[in-house]
Chain A
Amino acid sequence: MQPHVPRRTDRAGGVSAVALEEVRLAGRGGQGVVTAGELLGEAVLSSGRHAQSLPTFGPERRGALAQCTLRVSDQPILLKCSSARPSVVVCLDPTIWRYAPITLGVQEDAVVIVNTTQSPAKLEEALRSGRFLSELTLERFTVYTLDATGIAMEAIGRPISNTAMLGAVAAATDVIGLDDVETVLRARFGPAGEANVVAARSGFDAVGGGTI
């Protein structure tokens, strides 16, 4: 597995931000996209870096597209806009990438992690095909896939994929480590924390051998 190295984010138009990494979380309302952003941010904070999680909303409703941008930096984060140039995209839903442009603005060498039973190769082909609203014309990007819904059903008994996907983020990127994810899950969910820790670990293991 290739480690994911944070890079300078060129925010276009000559504005070279301080080293700032952006992670986009996407899914449907009710799947825990916003919560996943908060949990990731808390984990980043506890690792001593700065974080900002910014959900992008329309008039909210269950089942519709929900997105959240997590910004990570060694310095306080001044950027207060919803436009993003993510280097990591995490899709919590098996199908919404077909119908919504969740790859908008994604940078070269991106990591894309999708909750699906499809293989990474199959998904990469779909993302390159131009047949779906999420399209990647990048030269290089890495796709990881995992059946996070299946993992969640087994570990938690509910199809809430977010904590399994956090485990996958810990495995596929260096945004955060699995230890930090486990710590925030226990702090946030109390007695239900352990089941979510199991889901996160399964998610971590599921992408351990992701394709390049």
Chain B
Amino acid sequence: MSTRFWNGNMAAARAAQRARVQLVAAYPITPQTHTVEYLSQFVADGELDASMIKVESEHSALSACCGGSAVGARSFTASCSQGLQLMSEVMYFASGMRFPIVMAIANRTLSAPVNIWPDHQDTLVNRDSGWLQLYATNVQEIYDLTLLAFRVAEHVDISLPALVAYDGFILSHANEPVQEITQEQADALLPPPGVTERPILDPAAPVQFGEVLFPEWYPDYEYKKHMAVKDALAVIEEAFDEFAEATGRRYAPLEADGCEGAEVVLLGMGSMMQTARMAVDDLRAQGRRVGLLTMRSFRPFPEEALKAAMAGVDTLIVLDRDIGYGTAGMVYPDVTRTLYHADDRPRALNCVIGLGGKDITPQTILRCVEIAGEDHGDQTVFWPDARGPAEGIPWTGEVAPAGAGR
């Protein structure tokens, strides 16, 4: 195994190569474009034996992947932001027809105003598309999670599409050391490409996909899809276990660190959780009891692990790099819904940070922790970095001037 110095898009492309993808169809959009360019190069150089389908839009890209998946081919695409929104219609077809397509997403916010920088708005507005959603915190995880996404998506009890999300630029364009997985290791972790027990289009044994389903049976179909998303959690855990044995790198759908009895626990997804780790290490060095919950799987949602991590926790702060306009961030509602019925129910606050690529620095995280110790009445949703740079600028809450309750 060798150490590479790859950017995030290269890590996603190399993982798809290791997975021996058979069909790639994608359309370029900043900051994802490299991923497809690299794969195109691998195919041209004979490093990857896949059909590279040129398409005229993201809608067509995902449609082509659906076609490939319908005949049993391991299919891969990549997108983000407006491109993902153009795919959105087809995302529901992909999950409805139970096609285990894997998609890499270099998270980028949604226009307007035009902005090419990262937040999780693009993937989270597709929360209910029936896709599994994994979030990487560094470049190594982009590589590892993309490879494992094929295994989880293709599991015969799941058979759902999966996306692997990573922050645009901050991860997609950052080079970091990546431990490469050998082809033998990858082959041992994944089923052979194109070999599947799920129904596929075959002239010898004709089947039909996506036909009309009348109201009488529709809820039953939806229930099965709903349960498949839930059941994917155990499949992910099993995949993580086997991956840890093979590589020594251990992941969890929800990774808890120092949460028990903590005065404050920070929960979030993506690259900010590594920056948060730095801030938390510093706070711990000062004697503060601060925990971290890194969520790698947003769909399926790790409910039990979340409840288990709340023992003795005073305040949970959900860091959302996204906003459900008029309500709160989009991770927060799932967290509070889960904890409403938990035995140990902490106070739960929500910090909306880093929208449109606003830099999330250790000071941003420290500011979020400070909020837990301040009196803001019954205010629960905060925008700590919404005005001025994160460095040394007073926070602004939902109500101005800062500090007013609501």
Contact = CB atoms under 8 A, between A and B. Distances in A.
Given A17-B278, A79-B275, A80-B138, A53 B174 contact: yes
A111 B171 CA distance: 28
A81 B391 CA distance: 12
B277 A78 contact: yes
Contact of B177 (A50, A59, A60): A50
B391 A78 contact: no
B230 interface: no
Contact of A83 (B169, B174, B359): B359
Nearest to A78: B274
A201 B363 CA distance: 41
A26 to B, nearest CB: 16
A45 B139 CA distance: 15
Contacts of B359: 81-83
A57 B170 contact: no
Interface in A3-56: 11-17, 37-38, 41-42, 45, 50-56
Interface residues of B, number: 33
Given A11-B362, A13-B366, A15-B363, A80 B5 contact: no
A14 B366 contact: yes
A62 to B, nearest CB: 15
What does DSSP make chain A's interface, helix, strand, loop or mixed?
Answer: loop
Contacts of B30: 59-60
Contacts, number: 91
B366 A38 contact: no
Contacts of B137: 80
A32 to B, nearest CB: 14
A77 interface: yes
A12 B175 contact: no
A56 B116 CA distance: 12
Contacts of B163: none
Contact of B392 (A12, A45, A80): A12
A16 B3 CA distance: 28
A56 B272 CA distance: 17
Contacts of A81: 170, 275, 359-362
Interface in B170-185: 170-171, 173-177
A82 B275 CA distance: 11
Nearest to B140: A76
A11, A15, A55, A80, most chain B CB atoms within 10 A:
A80
Nearest to B364: A81
B274 A42 contact: no
Contacts of B146: none
B238 interface: no
B175 A11 contact: no
A154 B404 CA distance: 65
Nearest to A184: B5
Contact of A15 (B3, B170, B274, B282): B282
Report, nearest first, the 6 A-B pairs whose CB atoms are least far apart: A80-B271, A15-B362, A13-B363, A78-B274, A53-B175, A54-B174
24 contacts: A11-B278, A12-B363, A13-B362, A13-B392, A14-B282, A54-B173, A54-B174, A55-B169, A55-B173, A55-B174, A57-B116, A78-B274, A78-B277, A78-B278, A79-B275, A80-B138, A80-B170, A80-B174, A80-B274, A81-B275, A81-B362, A82-B170, A82-B359, A83-B359
Interface of A: 11-17, 37-38, 41-42, 45, 50-57, 59-60, 77-83
